[in-house]
Structure 1
Amino acid sequence: MWNTIFFQPLLNALIFLYNLLGQNLGWAIIGLTLLIRGVLTPLTLPSLKSGQKMKELQPELNKLKEKYGQDKQVFAKKQLELFQSHGVNPAAGCLPQIIQLVVLIALYQAFNLVLQSDGNLVVNLNKVLYAPLRLGQDFVLNTKFLYLNLAQPDLFSIPALKIAGLTFNKLPGIFLILAAAVQFFSSKLMMPTVKTKESTDDLAASMQTQMLYLFPLMTLFIGFKFPSGLVLYWLVFSLIMLVQQILLNNGKKH
């Protein structure tokens, strides 16, 4: 069922776009990302709006924290009442995040198959490609995109450096740095702009601060291990989400 619903359609879409866009895997990944983002937008937009409302309610949450902070049960009840009165669902972001994670896993599986180099690429691809998209035996995948080899991590080699007993000879590439930066700014936009002592002590605010740095660091770590094709997908996907968040914020101001 996993292959039928997620993996196979994504892989076929990737190969279709690869052929459509001049056999350029980079543009195919970007095109697939735009397609996925378009499909997921109706699911993610309510999550973004809910996050924006929670951000706007932060001053009122701080007042509740100050008034009822000593009684956690009362505070939780008042907090829920505040959310309900403004139509905010704190769990609104769960389903979109789960779907995005599932898509990312399926894409990783697809990229693993497409970017393999064991000589059996055509045979293995044709096992899961729909009949009109099946490849000839002379098919050769073009993994070049700008300076990237999409089958390899986006890293630059440097002279070996020893720091605290550890040896470093690689630095993250431009796309990997951009992906981490976009993650940082996306998380930053979702954080409350008004901070008080109470909001600093709040568990949710503390978790938000941790996530602000955790997601970019995770992006860098993953980018060191996985093909840059996956990083390219994550960069474009996150960039679209950042633009949507900026537009949503600007719309609230007017």
Structure 2
Amino acid sequence: MLSTIWFIFLYQPLFNALIWIYSNIADFNLGWAVIWLTIFLRILLLPLTFITERNSIRQEKAEEEALAESKAFEHDSVARSEIIRKVMKKHKISPWAKVLTLLIQLLVLVLLYQVFIRGISGDKIVKILYNGIDFPGKINTIFYGFEVGKVHDAIWAGITALYLFFSIIIENRKSKIWQPSQVTFLLIFPLFTFFALWLLPMVKSLFILTSMIFSDIIHILRMIFFPAPKVEKK
């Protein structure tokens, strides 16, 4: 029952979308098809992305406000913590949109993994394609000399991990003094990402890298057009 629901409502639609993009947009290149699929997915998730960015603005404002108001209680840690707690509560920052966006992307990652595990040879494609989707023939899985279904691809896993590494540095650029937890996160998370992607088909690296770049573009546009308001110092 669950496997049937998974196949009919999740796996088959995504598979057909991928093949349609492959044939009509990506010029019969599966790597580019995955990139375009990721972009279209992120466009569909833009409402959630906008909510996440709005929460980011609130978070920045709340942090500045909390810092400004707590300076008067610099030597009273209890009162200072209470002030910060009240300010953060006042802004009502909810992470649900970001969590939902990540969960949907994780779901697509799992589905893409199944696509490559099950194989994309002719016989299997024909059985899954909708009537309106043309059979594309032999699938071109080479992306600029790299096999998108290959595991243990250190280059694309490394590119993705490095991008993540520098993204974390840029995100924390305002921190004058890095906390030990920040340094640990900076080192461990990209390394974990590298090894995880190294174990998986290269297509996962393309998906995650494209999604991160898309998120960063949206974030940059938000910072340009909708910067967080400055909190007046008291």
Same fold, judged at TM 0.5 (above): yes
Greater helix content = 2
TM superposition score normalised by structure 2: 0.77
* Cα distance, 1:67 vs structure 2: 6.8
Matched, 1:47 2:52: yes
Determine the structure 2 residue equivalent to 1:222.
Answer: 196
Select which of 179, 182, 188 maps to 2:160.
179
Matched, 1:250 2:224: yes
Aligned residue type for 1:224: W
Structure 1 residue runs without a partner (length 5+): 116-120, 156-171
**RCO greater where, 1 or 2, for CA within 8 Å and sep 6 or more?**
2
TM superposition score normalised by structure 1: 0.71
Counterparts of 1:209 and 1:92 in 2: how far apart (Å)? 27
For residues 1-254 of structure 1, the aligned pairs below 5 Å read: 1-20=5-24, 21-62=26-67, 63=70, 69-70=77-78, 75=81, 78-114=83-119, 121-133=121-133, 135=135, 139-153=137-151, 155=153, 172-173=154-155, 175-191=156-172, 193-194=174-175, 200=179, 206=181, 210-251=184-225, 252=227
Shift in CA distance, 36/68, structure 1 to aligned 2, threshold 3 Å:
farther
- Identity value in percent: 28
Aligned residue type for 1:29: V
Determine the structure 2 residue equivalent to 1:165.
Answer: none
Shift in CA distance, 183/68, structure 1 to aligned 2, threshold 3 Å:
farther
* Cα distance, 1:43 vs structure 2: 1.0
Q: Contact (CA 8 Å) 1:150, 1:227: kept in 2 or not?
A: yes
Q: What's the secondary structure of 1:176's corresponding residue?
A: helix
Counterparts of 2:116 and 2:57 in 1: how far apart (Å)? 34
Counterparts of 1:189 and 1:95 in 2: how far apart (Å)? 24
Counterparts of 2:173 and 2:84 in 1: how far apart (Å)? 16
Q: Contact (CA 8 Å) 1:47, 1:93: kept in 2 or not?
A: yes
Q: What's the secondary structure of 2:132's corresponding residue?
A: helix
Structure 2 residue runs without a partner (length 5+): 230-234
Counterparts of 2:163 and 2:172 in 1: how far apart (Å)? 15
Aligned residue type for 1:240: F
Q: Report how many aligned residue pairs link the two structures.
A: 220
Q: Contact (CA 8 Å) 2:48, 2:97: kept in 1 or not?
A: no
Greater strand content = 1
Shift in CA distance, 105/214, structure 1 to aligned 2, threshold 3 Å:
farther
Counterparts of 2:62 and 2:170 in 1: how far apart (Å)? 15
